[in-house]
Structure formats: C-alpha cells, structure tokens
Amino acid sequence: MKKQRKHCIYCGEITIKKYEDNVQRDFCPACNSFFYENPLPVVSTILESSRQILLVKRDRAPSRGLWCLPTGFAEAGESIEEAALRELEEETGIRGKIVKLLDVDSYKSRFYGDLLFLTFVVQQTGGKLCAGDDCSQARFWPANKLPPFAFRSNKLALEAYIKSRRDYWAIFDSIEHTDKKTLPPTVVKNSLTRRLVNVIIKNKEKIIEQWLDDVLVNPSTAEYHKMERDVLYNICDRILSQLTLWLGGLHDVEKIKSFYTKLGRERRKSGFKISDVLSALSLIRKHIWTFALAQDALQKNLELFMTFELQRRMTIFFDLATFYLTRGHEEK
C-alpha cells in the first residue's frame, strides 16, 4: 500500500487535512503550506515485428510473474519520449525511436496512487533482445495470442493498437494470396474483401433495384429497355452471386469463363448488341461500388491504397467477365 504523509517535509510538524479549491489536501499549519499529490507519469512502448508484440515478464511487485509492455516511471530531467525509450532499452535491450503517442490512460494503483499511463508506438533502431534487471523474460508474442496483462492500461493500449492495424494486416493478406485460387479461411474471414462480400450479400436486393432503375432508362443499354424487370432481376442476381464467390475465394477463373461465355452466347441469340451487354455489366459494378461507399462499409479508416486494392480485385473480376462475355457473344 502507498504510504501516507504524516509530517511536513520542510519543518517536520504533523500535517493535517484541509480543503483548497474543494479538494482535500495535506496541509502544514506551521509552514502554512499545502502539499499537492499529482499523478505519476508512467511510460509504455509498443514494438511490433511481423504482427508480434514485444512484452516483458515482471520479476518484482506489483504483478510479479505477469506480462506487460516495457513500462516504467518517467524520471525528473528527461522528456516523456526519452523516458519511454530508456525503459524500452533497460527492460529489453532494444534501442528504438518514437513513431507516435498512441494512448493515454489514468489508473489508481494501491502501490503508487494515481498514475498516468502514456503508451508510445516505437520502431527498433538497434540493440539485442535480452531481459533487463526488472524482468525475468523478454520476448515477442503473436498479436492474436497475447497473455494476461499485469496492467489494465497496457491491455487497453494494445487493443487500440491492434484495432488500428487490423485493416493494414487484412489488406496485406489479400495481396499475399492474390494469385492463389482459394484463400485460407482465416484470410477470407478477416479481410477487407470480406466486408465488401457482406455488403453485397446483405444488400443484394437494393443493389439490384438500383441497377434496374438505371439499366431500364440508360441510353447505353437500349436493348434492355424492352426486357421484363423480373428477367433482368434474375440476370443481375446471378452476376452478383458469381462476384461474391470470386471475392470470397470460392470461385476460380475457369468457372467465370464458363459462366460468362454462356451468358454472352445467350445475349447474342437474343439479338443484343455487344455494346449494350457490356454497358449493362459496367453499370452493375458502378452500383455495387457506389452502394458500398454510401453505406460507409469501406471508407471509414480506410487508406487510399486499400481502396485501390479492393477496386483492383473487382476490376479483375469484371475484366474477366467482359472478356468471356464478349467471346461468348462472338461465337458462331
């Protein structure tokens, strides 16, 4: 437990409690002086390497034996950033540089009283990993398999960090598996592409209705103006199903080839011009993308290159569809 002040540090007289500005403080009647208890600044650092987080195992109270970020008190005469980097090196042997301040949290400790945790994201610049005097171990943990933490503030800061990185990790997964016929279930489940798939599945009827309202009046799709709305609905429904299978990693190029070659032959036999068919297909892409962005499904916290990557995945699909649709239309 934190020890309480009993005597004045200046004259040695017994202190009393007295209110100042509606706050009860220690007060020395002899010196006519108040004593102020301010939160102690505590610094922590998050160092990530390949989705693994550097943690240390505490070798002293409080919370001995539990894991935490490299953490310690700031000292007088050093900046808060210097304190963070000093603690990192003392506890792990790693030298680093500050990337940004990530999180600030208040915490009341029974050992030290009020604490103010400041957590920085850092980048390694040198050093060699080894446990410091206050730690029994220092090692990297996978971000998805972190141990119980000694400090709540560390847990909250890491949750915020992982949340901020989730989109980046997802898009890199998507890029890494681009050339594979199917995506691993974990990639499909967590990827940004999966968000778009969910948007299409949950809002398919609305997307189709928007497309119908467009394709039935658009000058570039004149041949479609004569078709029944129900027939067009089924056509768009089939195309959206093909797209979701492709984006979900469950459809390969051969299946797309077969589907759109057949669709092209069907449109030719029905007397449609190829320009109308391709324009109708392009309008489907337009309404999918417009609807997804309007629902804020993709743009929130999404970097520009991520948006391009999703657009690229859709472009590949529609380019393949266009090619085989045209080939099927041209077949005699």
Provide the residue ranges of all domains of the chain, joining segments of one domain with +.
Answer: 1-37, 41-164, 185-330
Residue listed under structure tokens 């141990």: 147
In the beta sheet, which residues pair with residue 149?
67
Of the chain, the end-to-end C-alpha distance in Å amounts to 89
- Give the C-alpha separation, 195 to 297, whole Å: 7
Which of these, 145, 140, 191, 195, lies nearest to 168 by C-alpha position? 191
- Give the per-residue pLDDT at 101: 96
The SS3 of residue 159 is helix
- Give the per-residue pLDDT at 55: 97
Distances (CA, A) of 169 to 34, 117, 163, 175, 226: 52, 27, 10, 10, 47
- Give the C-alpha separation, 261 to 156, whole Å: 53
Q: Using the CB atoms, write b or e for 23-34: b if 16+ within 10 Å.
A: eebbbbeeeeee
Q: Which fold has domain 185-330?
A: Globin-like (1.10.490)
Mean pLDDT for back-to-back runs of 10 residues, the chain (332 residues): 74 86 86 85 94 93 90 94 96 95 89 89 95 90 94 94 77 50 48 68 89 92 90 89 75 78 87 88 84 59 51 70 80 66
Single-letter amino acid code for the residue at 127: G
User: How buried is 89 (Cβ within 10 angstroms: 0-12 exposed, 13-18 middle, 19+ buried)?
Assistant: middle
Whole-structure pTM over 0.75, yes or no?
Answer: no
- Give the C-alpha separation, 112 to 245, whole Å: 56
Q: Which CATH architecture has domain 1-37?
A: Single Sheet (2.20)
Whether 61 and 109 have beta carbons less than 8 Å apart is answered as no
Distances (CA, A) of 130 to 42, 53, 74, 97, 126: 22, 15, 21, 18, 12
- Give the per-residue pLDDT at 172: 56
Q: Which CATH architecture has domain 41-164?
A: Alpha-Beta Complex (3.90)
